[in-house]
A and B are shown apart, each in its own frame.
Chain A
Amino acid sequence: MESTANTLIPQAPAQAAPGERDTVLKQAELDQISRDMLGVIADMGEDTPGAINIRANGCLAARTNSENIRIETKADKPGIDIRVAPHTKGEQVHIPVVLTETGENDMVYNDFYIGEGADVYIVAGCGIHNDGDCASEHDGIHTFYLEPNSHVVYVEKHYGEGDGTGERILNPTTEVHMQEGSSMEMEMDQIKGVSSTVRTTRGELAADCRLTVVEKLMTHGDQTAESDLDFVMDGDGSSVRVVSRSVARDRSRQLFQPVVTGNASCRGHVQCDAIIMDHAQVKSVPAIDARSTEAQLVHEAAIGKIAGDAIVKLETLGLTEEEAEEQILEDFLS
């Protein structure tokens, strides 16, 4: 083993890739802001084996590998390859990204190769702290290749903060290629403070694959969020379940366009629930596309304000109206 897991000892990347500055930040250089934000976007277990890669302001800040999981810097473009050996069990991968410098525009390609029969938990997150007045942007393109019978739990958290007027922009793309018998659970949270986002999520499923996507989003102020999801089931016995929950406050706008296509004997379910508040706008355009008589596809979409009786109930338990609203939104997105 090259290094024990989670010791967070910074390691020099093998080589600097174009667009990736060949500086290595010491862990000490991750200032307090980054640390706080890391806490929000990635909860790193103390004794869980696995691999970690921390990217801060466009540089590699720290990396550890485990015996079964290797992270390597890409040679041709910014980003990393994460290789999980076949039949790896119970390990985790954490790859948080932090942006604290205003005016940063960070673009990375992260490819995950999940070996046959492996079972891993992957946490990716991006936190932008922008106190300046230029836009900070991080666009992560995550591609997953799941070999037969592998299983991945993927958690992605996006978070923006800072007092500056600079926009905080996140445009994540997630693409999943699933081979026979593989399964994946994706949980994607955009907690708060992201000015503008276009989220693209795509997947193709072979036979007997199972994909669950849970997306949670909250927008406020003048933020805009668009989420395009597109899943295609090509193999018999596969299933896709998409659950989207969102809250739109103030003057923010949201657009959801989930599409599930069934080309075989398969099942798909899309469920979008949104709470709309203030002067926000939410548009949900779910689509289901069956190309086999054996495809069973369902979509449900509901947009409404916070249930009045739920607010009243919490008030009878001593919460103020504002506290009750916050509580209901927190749970809705939990």
Chain B
Amino acid sequence: MLQIKDLIYTVKPGQGSYDDHDHEIIRGLDLTVETGRLVVVTGPNGGGKSTTAKLVMGIEQPTGGTITFDGTDVTHMPIDERARLGIGYGFQQPAKFQGMKVGKLIRIASGEKLSGAACNRFLTSVGLCSADYLMRDVDKSLSGGELKRIEIATVLARNPKLAIFDEPEAGIDLWSFERLCETFEELHHKEPDHTIVIISHQERIMALADDIVVIEDGRVVRQGPRDEVYPTLGFGKNVDPSCAFTREKNVDFGAAEAAARAAVAASTRNEE
């Protein structure tokens, strides 16, 4: 179980702030994610989703509040220790490595001496279906969508108890996206004790969720079972979701989802 209590993250001038003011980016965020759930976190751009994920992974240090994972207070724990505890994060913006082969990165992620075939299975599960990828460098010679899928594959290979994927759909073509959704679904069923958190704006991904969490302006503004939260999001109504999250909407969920599924093709947009 992941428990976030009264989380605060402020950037100060000289510590990353873009101007000479303090910016409170996460403003007293409370969130509990039960073990074994598949949770989709959504909300407008700039709401603080990635920052929250980075605070959970230990990439950023909170100004206040606590983060507890499976009973252990991890608030001030280094990244690698959290990783060994079972927290994993697929970056919104993947890192590049000069000279590192895709196959090697997957092996490092898995912590095992995986065979080429085993590495390939992880790549196939994110829609990278050519064995040639294993010997490619994880650098600028790969497209944004390829890098993104390799990033996701590293988290799958690591198979953490808590996997956080940050906008996995970004930059990915429709076919790979569909394959990816199936992979998340399979993972959720195959590992009932593992928790999956997906930060996403995609209706197709929300359809996989047990729970939906809406983060806006540095706080959780809504949280609950998918069937309760989804209808409030305003999908299928041709509204800009970024304006609609906090507004109650009486949307017929079934119709909205059908419309959303049909719209996946149009909406798998490149956000990078």
Residues of A in contact with B (beta carbons under 8 Å apart): 245, 273, 307, 309-310, 312-321, 327-328, 331-334
Interchain CB contact under 8 A, A331 and B57: no
Please give, as numbers and ranges, the residues of chain B lying within 8 Å of A316 by CB-CB distance.
Answer: 57, 59, 79-80, 83, 88-89
Interchain CB contact under 8 A, B98 and A313: no
Shortest Cβ gap from B30 to chain A (Å): 24
Interchain CB contact under 8 A, B80 and A315: yes
Q: Would you mind naming 11 contact pairs between A and B with Cβ atoms under 8 Å apart?
A: A307-B96, A316-B57, A316-B83, A317-B158, A318-B80, A318-B158, A319-B108, A327-B108, A331-B104, A332-B99, A334-B99
Interchain CB contact under 8 A, B108 and A331: no
Q: Can you add 13 more A-B contacts, CB < 8 Å, to A316-B83, A332-B98? A: A309-B93, A310-B96, A313-B91, A313-B94, A313-B95, A315-B78, A316-B59, A316-B79, A317-B154, A317-B158, A319-B80, A321-B78, A327-B108
Q: CA A309 – CA B89 in complex, angstroms? A: 13
* Interface check B84, CB cutoff 8 A: yes
Most buried by B among A313, A316, A321, A331: A316
Q: CA A133 – CA B157 in complex, angstroms? A: 49
Contacts A314-B108, A318-B84, A319-B80; is A309 near B100 (CB within 8 Å)?
Answer: no
Contacts A312-B59, A316-B79, A319-B108; is A307 near B95 (CB within 8 Å)?
Answer: yes
Shortest Cβ gap from B246 to chain A (Å): 32
Which among B59, B101, B109 is the interface contact of A317 at CB below 8 angstroms? B109
Interchain CB contact under 8 A, B80 and A320: yes
Q: CA A333 – CA B99 in complex, angstroms? A: 7
Interchain CB contact under 8 A, B98 and A317: no
Please give, as numbers and ranges, the residues of chain B lying within 8 Å of A320 by CB-CB distance.
Answer: 80
Residue of B at shortest CB range from A334? B99
Shortest Cβ gap from A307 to chain B (Å): 7
Please give, as numbers and ranges, the residues of chain B lying within 8 Å of A310 by CB-CB distance.
Answer: 95-97
Q: CA A18 – CA B84 in complex, angstroms? A: 62
Q: CA A328 – CA B139 in complex, angstroms? A: 12
Please give, as numbers and ranges, the residues of chain A lying within 8 Å of B89 by CB-CB distance.
Answer: 316
Which among A245, A312, A331, A333 is the interface contact of B95 at CB below 8 angstroms? A312
Residues of B in contact with A (beta carbons under 8 Å apart): 57, 59, 78-80, 83-84, 88-89, 91, 93-101, 104, 108-109, 111, 154, 158
Interchain CB contact under 8 A, A321 and B80: yes
Please give, as numbers and ranges, the residues of chain B lying within 8 Å of A307 by CB-CB distance.
Answer: 95-97
Please give, as numbers and ranges, the residues of chain A lying within 8 Å of B84 by CB-CB distance.
Answer: 318
Q: CA A245 – CA B99 in complex, angstroms? A: 10
Which among A245, A318, A331 is the interface contact of B97 at CB below 8 angstroms? A331
Shortest Cβ gap from B247 to chain A (Å): 36
Interchain CB contact under 8 A, A331 and B100: yes
Shortest Cβ gap from B195 to chain A (Å): 16
Q: CA A245 – CA B100 in complex, angstroms? A: 14
Please give, as numbers and ranges, the residues of chain A lying within 8 Å of B59 by CB-CB distance.
Answer: 312, 316
Q: CA A331 – CA B83 in complex, angstroms? A: 22
Residue of B at shortest CB range from A323? B80
Q: CA A312 – CA B98 in complex, angstroms? A: 15
Residue of B at shortest CB range from A315? B79
Please give, as numbers and ranges, the residues of chain B lying within 8 Å of A327 by CB-CB distance.
Answer: 100, 108
Please give, as numbers and ranges, the residues of chain A lying within 8 Å of B93 by CB-CB distance.
Answer: 309
Which among B94, B97, B158 is the interface contact of A328 at CB below 8 angstroms? B97
Interchain CB contact under 8 A, A331 and B96: no
Contacts A316-B89, A318-B84, A321-B80; is A273 near B108 (CB within 8 Å)?
Answer: no
Q: CA A314 – CA B93 in complex, angstroms? A: 14
Please give, as numbers and ranges, the residues of chain B lying within 8 Å of A314 by CB-CB distance.
Answer: 108
Shortest Cβ gap from A233 to chain B (Å): 26
Which among A245, A317, A321, A332 is the interface contact of B83 at CB below 8 angstroms? A317
Q: CA A205 – CA B97 in complex, angstroms? A: 34
Q: CA A333 – CA B100 in complex, angstroms? A: 10
Shortest Cβ gap from A138 to chain B (Å): 28
Shortest Cβ gap from B261 to chain A (Å): 32
Interchain CB contact under 8 A, A318 and B98: no
Q: CA A327 – CA B99 in complex, angstroms? A: 10
Please give, as numbers and ranges, the residues of chain B lying within 8 Å of A245 by CB-CB distance.
Answer: 98-99
Closest 4 CB pairs of A and B: A315-B79, A331-B99, A331-B100, A309-B95
